[in-house]
């Protein structure tokens, strides 16, 4: 009982609410949702404030009093003190924090931009990240014209995921920026890992620079190309995604050579260590 007669300092949180917001106004950066009031008094008196629901009634910021030409409003905490001080009667108010509030707003101007991955994603050994999916994959950004002109995408808050082999789905927040309101504030992120595998594909051989009326026949007519690729991607590939060529000008410049050289010209993205098994083949030029 003696301790309740001693003097203490405690911090009380009071909500803050913006009022009188016109229907066509969007607050693009929310005002701090509460102020922290440090009060000093005897223990018995402090309990009455801590347990009093009246102290949780919001302090109001009248939007119409703080409009500005640059859509950036600053509210000095002193202007709110008149609402705060009467609540504590004879109790000593030591401090009110923060010393000011600020918020941004506009009249509905927005821009739709894609969501971007951020952080460090490291699949397990012999695996790689084959696909990233966001739901939704784009968001609306509300801000002033100058800000919107510079925004091309919105990253998520950085995620750190290491040594995974299976598909991962999680809800993640978007990285908030000063003076911007992002809708929605969260997205679903799905990461699809895939395992590297070696595969062989038979690719038809074509000829570059061959004159009209001539035909190059190679033996064999297809080249075996070995690739390292994810299994999921391999199933979606076609031989038409690869190009293996012989060059007519190179052939006629070496008339004593009985084979022609093959070159792997194109491969799909995310294919690694692609090479032709036998890059010299027999050939015949027909008129």
Q: What is the pLDDT of residues 44-91, one digit of tens each?
A: 666 666 666 555 678 888 898 888 888 888 888 777 787 888 777 777
Q: In terms of DSSP bridges, do strands 154-155 and 110-116 run parallel, antiparallel, or are they unpaired?
A: parallel
Residue 91 confidence (pLDDT): 79
Which range of 4-8, 42-46, 117-121, 271-275 scores highest in mean pLDDT? It is 117-121
The tokens of 233 are what? 């991607």
200: nearest Cα among 179, 217, 222: 222
Specify which residues 38 forms β-bridges with: 11, 95
- Cα→Cα distances 122→126, 157, 159, 242, Å: 11, 17, 11, 29
The answer for residues whose C-beta is within 8 angstroms of residue 232's C-beta and 6 or more apart is 130, 131, 192, 194
Helix (H, G, I), strand (E, B) or coil at 122: strand
Element of type H or E holding 146: helix 145-150
Whether the full predicted model's pTM is greater than 0.75, yes or no, is no
Residue 89 confidence (pLDDT): 74
Element of type H or E holding 222: strand 222-230
Classify residue 150 by its DSSP letter.
H
Helix (H, G, I), strand (E, B) or coil at 54: helix
Residue 205 confidence (pLDDT): 96
pLDDT band at 2 (very low <50, low <70, confident <90, very high): low
Q: Where are the beta strands (DSSP E) in 43-136?
A: 59-62, 72-76, 92-97, 100-106, 110-116, 119-123, 127-135
Helix (H, G, I), strand (E, B) or coil at 44: helix
Lowest mean pLDDT, pick from 163-177, 188-202, 226-240 = 226-240
pLDDT band at 4 (very low <50, low <70, confident <90, very high): low
The tokens of 264 are what? 């792997």
The sheet with strand 100-106 has its strands ordered as 26-29, 100-106, 72-76
- Cα→Cα distances 49→2, 52, 59, 62, 87, Å: 19, 5, 16, 26, 9
Average pLDDT, the chain: 87
119: nearest Cα among 184, 191, 32: 191
Residue 5 confidence (pLDDT): 65
SS (HEC) of 241-264: HCEEEEEHHHHHCCCCCCEEECEE
pLDDT band at 216 (very low <50, low <70, confident <90, very high): very high
Q: Can you tell me which residue has the tokens 């792997």? A: 264
Region 242-268: mean pLDDT is 94
Cβ–Cβ < 8 Å for 80, 114 = no
Residue 171 confidence (pLDDT): 97
pLDDT band at 156 (very low <50, low <70, confident <90, very high): very high
The answer for residues whose C-beta is within 8 angstroms of residue 46's C-beta and 6 or more apart is 8, 10, 39, 91
How many whole angstroms separate alpha carbon 58 and alpha carbon 17? 6
Cβ–Cβ < 8 Å for 20, 64 = yes
Region 83-103: mean pLDDT is 80
Classify residue 63 by its DSSP letter.
G
Specify which residues 36 forms β-bridges with: 13, 97
């Amino acid at each position: 009982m003696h301790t309740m007669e001693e003097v203490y300092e405690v911090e009380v949180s009071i909500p803050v609410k913006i009022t009188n917001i016109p229907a066509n106004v969007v607050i693009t950066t929310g005002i701090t949702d509460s102020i922290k009031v440090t009060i000093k008094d005897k223990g018995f008196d402090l309990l009455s404030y801590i347990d009093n629901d009246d102290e949780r009634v919001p302090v109001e910021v009248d939007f119409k009093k703080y409009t500005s030409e640059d859509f950036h409003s600053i509210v000095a905490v002193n202007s709110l003190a008149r609402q705060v001080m009467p609540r504590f009667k004879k109790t000593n108010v030591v401090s009110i924090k923060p010393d000011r509030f600020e918020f941004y707003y506009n009249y509905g101007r927005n821009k739709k931009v894609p969501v971007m991955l951020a952080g460090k994603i490291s699949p397990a050994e012999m695996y790689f990240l084959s696909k990233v999916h966001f739901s939704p994959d784009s968001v609306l950004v509300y801000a002033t014209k100058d800000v919107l002109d510079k925004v091309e995408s919105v990253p998520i808050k950085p995620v750190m995921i290491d040594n995974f082999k299976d598909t991962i789905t999680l809800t993640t927040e978007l990285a908030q920026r000063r003076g911007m309101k992002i809708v929605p504030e969260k997205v679903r992120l799905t990461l699809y890992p895939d395992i590297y595998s070696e595969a062989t594909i038979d690719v038809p051989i074509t000829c570059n620079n061959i004159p009209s009326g001539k035909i190059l026949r190679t033996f064999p007519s297809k080249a075996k190309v070995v690739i390292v690729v994810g299994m999921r991607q391999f199933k979606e590939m076609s031989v038409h995604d690869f190009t293996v060529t012989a060059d007519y000008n190179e052939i006629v410049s070496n008339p004593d050579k009985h084979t022609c050289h093959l070159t792997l010209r194109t491969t799909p993205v995310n294919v690694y260590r692609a090479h032709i098994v036998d890059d010299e083949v027999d050939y015949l030029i027909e008129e």
